[in-house]
Chains A and B, each alone.
Chain A
Amino acid sequence: MNSILEAKNLSFSWGESPVFTEVGFDIQPRQIVAIVGVNGAGKSTLMKCLNRILAPSSGSVVINSKDVSKMPLLELAKQVSYVPQSVSTSFPLDVYDVVMLGRRPYISWRISDGDRAFVSDTISLFDLEDFAFRRFDQLSGGERQRVIIAKAVAQNPSLFLLDEPTSDLDLKNQIMVMKSIRKLVDNKENNCSALIAIHDLNMAARFADSILMLHDGKMKAFGPPEEVFSKKNISEVFGVTSELISSTDSAPMRIHILDIPNDESAGN
């Protein structure tokens, strides 16, 4: 089966200072890939390079066998939808109209009945009916995040790029958001995949099929969670010691973060 996304030899630098070099991976249909790494490892930057928000300094990105750099932005928006870490706004719309922006790539001017039906269904899917005509800025962080993800879903893309979708959320909302993404990707009709930048390794192990580990501007590891999350990798990348509990039929693998090794923590 064809990959949804193929990234080859991607590099990016701000002026002279490189953020990451030679990153290459692919994403199969109905897969969730989680990007992990420390702050500043280039998770967000990598995501923006896939979506043409930033132009990679070298390498190529191919989505559904089409070169992203040659695609018109409107066409790209039908293939990929991006959910930024947070959206703050001076000019808030009603929730319904925010989700409607996801239909923007398909609308020239008039909103068709089909677009409206799609938006209404998406709003129900994310349990947002009660907020549908509230202003976006009057929602809580978790509700806003759900609205922006719903907008991404309304775009009906092949690939979701989610930049730390759970970072501002409480525990219940974190699981709700991750579950809804898993449900979307598992749905055979959609034939879509997701790439998620995330800090919580346990969330990554639980919901992702593959883990992409970034370290020092390089791809440290790429593969299934059991392979990538070794004590050695976790210690080298995050600088912490850990204890691993393998997955069972009923539970995903668990990672217990223990401590910072002595020589680093106390200073002198």
Chain B
Amino acid sequence: MESITERHVQNGHVQIVIMLAIASATILMGLFAMGVGSSVQLDKVLTLKIILGISEADSLQSDIIWQLRFPRILMAITCGVALATAGALMQGCLGNPLVSPLTLGVASGASLGAALAIVFGLHVTDFLDPLLNSGPLEKLDFGSIGIVVNAFFFSLIVVAIIIQLGRMRSISAESYILVGIAITFICGAIVSTIQYFASDAEISQLTHWSFGSLSRPDLGQTIWIAALITALMPVAIVFAWDLNSMALGGDDFAISTGVDPQITRVGILVLSAGMTSIVIAFTGLIGFVGLAAPHMTRLVIGNDYRKLLPCSAVTGAFLVLLADTIGRTIFAPIIIPVGVMLSVIGGPFFMYLLLANRGVSH
């Protein structure tokens, strides 16, 4: 009979294999998605040949592949990684399975920022411009991404509130959630009020923003976002041991294993709110993956955060990419927004997984 030590080592290997399998599936899905599109002169085989450098591409083909499809796919992967990781982090450090990256109000902050920009033309960049124009950043053009900067700035307000809360003595995990819900209500009320003054065109633009889309950032921006999220992933994984303690037994238990839950919680919340802000400022509201991807992963791989974080990340990437690819093809040339697609396909699948795993009683 194998010893429990060997079995523990072996379980670890199995988990790594599962993770690599999902990552490979994501890469394959990415390659497939590169070949999907409305262009008649670019079929899947030719696209694959161009990507692998076997065939030469003309400039139009090259533009379609590298300027249109590649940023979108990279953004899908980045978005899935960031939101799923943020969701797993937040669920663990708040000890609550109902939490998603949007619970703390980051998204409603972003919506408020977007609404102010779209309806009133109030741009944070207008205030930044005079400061920046005098410095070395003179050439930076914020104009084209005014809504994005606004959304990001207003979601950072939520991060600031988290930091302020963290300074208070003995603030509980529930307090963060309740404050998040309050922020959501407040921002929601202001956005509704703004909509009251908005024209039909502006309301339509705001609604469109809130659908969530992966095609807004261009290639350069996408690469920056991807690089930022990639840089933050190791920081997230460093918290894995602390999260195991906090998620298993709560604050007292965490302290007994040498973890300071107050400080750790603020750190994790700021990190996950930051990751969420970076992505949704560009994409708009894509929520469901942050709730569902960590839970799907938990069902397969368990709750050990050392495995759960990287595995949630790849699962999130896979889900967003899958939803976007289906959204682009199912009613082509009409594109169903990725946020909608994620909820429509992901929701029932998620429910099935949760319920099937419970079994039937009696």
Contacts and interface: CB of A to CB of B under 8 A. Distances in A.
A97 B304 contact: yes
Nearest to B238: A109
Contact of B256 (A81, A90, A120, A136): A81
Nearest to B88: A91
Given A73-B260, A74-B258, A101-B257, A92 B248 contact: yes
Contacts of A245: none
A91 B97 contact: yes
A139 interface: no
A90 B96 contact: yes
Given A91-B91, A123-B4, A51 B248 contact: no
A38 interface: no
A116 B256 contact: no
Given A91-B298, A132-B4, A104 B258 contact: yes
A144 to B, nearest CB: 11
Contacts of B238: 109
Contact of B7 (A89, A133, A136): A133
B95 A90 contact: yes
Contacts of B250: 87, 89
Contact of B247 (A82, A91, A105, A123): A91
B160 to A, nearest CB: 27
Nearest to B257: A104
A136 B248 contact: yes
Nearest to B5: A120
Interface in A87-132: 87, 89-94, 96-98, 101-102, 104-105, 107, 109, 116-117, 119-120, 123, 129, 132
Interface residues on B, range: 20 to 34
B201 interface: no
A27 interface: no
Chain B facing A: main interface SS: helix
A201 interface: no
A82 B303 contact: no
Contacts of B96: 90
Interface string B1-45: 001110111010000000000000000000000000000000000
Contacts of A77: 256-258
A89 B248 contact: yes
B303 A129 contact: no
Contact of A73 (B95, B252, B255): B255
B302 A87 contact: no
B121 interface: no
Nearest to B3: A120
Contacts of A76: 258
A48 B252 contact: yes
A22 B63 CA distance: 78
Contacts of B92: 91
Contact of B9 (A48, A75, A116): A116
Contacts of A107: 241
B4 A101 contact: no
A194 B4 CA distance: 28
Nearest to B9: A116
A24 interface: no
A155 interface: yes
A91 B8 contact: no
A84 B250 CA distance: 11
B197 interface: no
A1 interface: no
B244 A116 contact: no
A73 B244 contact: no
B255 A93 contact: no
Contacts of A152: 256
A52 interface: yes
Interface of A: 48, 51-53, 73-78, 80-84, 87, 89-94, 96-98, 101-102, 104-105, 107, 109, 116-117, 119-120, 123, 129, 132-133, 135-136, 148, 152, 155
22 contacts: A74-B258, A75-B258, A82-B252, A84-B256, A87-B248, A87-B249, A89-B248, A90-B95, A91-B97, A91-B248, A94-B11, A94-B304, A96-B4, A96-B8, A97-B244, A97-B302, A101-B257, A104-B241, A116-B8, A123-B4, A133-B8, A155-B257
Given A82-B252, A82-B255, A97-B302, 16 more contacts: A73-B259, A76-B258, A80-B256, A82-B256, A89-B247, A89-B249, A91-B303, A97-B244, A104-B244, A104-B245, A104-B258, A105-B258, A119-B8, A120-B3, A136-B248, A152-B256
